[in-house]
Amino acid sequence: MALFNEETRRSGDAATRALSVTTVELGFVEKVYQGIASVYDYTYGPTLHPGRLEAIEKMALGPGTHVLEVGVGTGINLGLYPSKCRITGIDLSSKMLAKAQGRIESKGLLNCDLAEMDATKLTFADNSFDVVYAPYVISVVPEPVKVAREMYRVCRPGGRVIILNHFKSANRLMGWIEKIISPMTVHIGFTADLDLPGFLEQADLHPISLEKVNVPKMWTLITVVKE
């Protein structure tokens, strides 16, 4: 199991342990993101941009590739995709989607379409997309495992599930700090202490790669190929 270092090895209780000390409800998440829609690009834009670029590189996109972006937000990624790909973006926040639609229109992105949708209940058929991508979303949603399983379901066999997210540090001190601050960070849009080994085990995901991205390298880029 050489792919996994000590940070990501699955321990005996990974399948059952709580993924975070913080629990949130869907309505709370929607309210938070409705509130930060107008400032999202400035607060979460430049700092997290390198990870976005690496994620799209990992997708190995070719002409005609159909990508589902889960948690499209303000559409900050939409202009990064090749024009010959088809992009479907979903989000729970209507205000975020309004910003994304404005970006589509201002940039003339003819290959993009949007829908308001709950990521735990995707309305797409099984095996619908070549790539299913969740950028900085998994630590936001109340049920990250359910979202990941839905992502896997709608991805075609041989396609890629890409998750870009912050997870609790393997460093004991940093992990303890993240656990303490997590009940506060939900008010700006994420839980700080999401457990990576537990998440992978409970979502039944088997990555082909796990990479640290951004500066500092506190975010993880997960690539899964659907069997």
pLDDT digits (tens, 9 = 90+) for 85-112: 999 999 999 999 999 999 999 999 999 9
Q: How confident is the model at residue 2 (pLDDT cuts 50, 70, 90)?
A: very low
Looking at residue 4, its pLDDT comes to 43
Of all residues in the chain, what percent carry a pLDDT higher than 70? 95
Where does the chain have alpha helices with state H?
26-36, 40-43, 49-58, 94-107, 144-154, 172-185, 196-203
Contact 215, 50 (CB under 8 A): yes
At the topology level of CATH, where does 26-225 sit?
Answer: Rossmann fold (3.40.50)
Of all residues in the chain, what percent carry a pLDDT higher than 90? 77
pLDDT, tens only, 33-89: 788 878 888 787 888 999 999 999 999 899 999 999 999 999 999 999 999 999 999
Specify the higher pLDDT residue, 186 or 221. 221
101-130 average pLDDT score: 97
Q: How far is CA 175 from CA 8, 111, 167, 168, 182, in A?
A: 14, 41, 9, 6, 10
**Residue 135 to residue 162: CA distance in whole angstroms:** 8
Looking at residue 12, its pLDDT comes to 61
Looking at residue 177, its pLDDT comes to 95
Is 218 buried (19+), middle (13-18) or exposed (0-12) by CB count in 10 A? middle
- Domain edges within the chain: 26-225
Contact 136, 40 (CB under 8 A): no
Contact 131, 159 (CB under 8 A): yes
| Sign of CA pseudo-dihedral 96, 102, 108, 110 | positive
Amino acid at 191: T
pTM for the model = 0.89
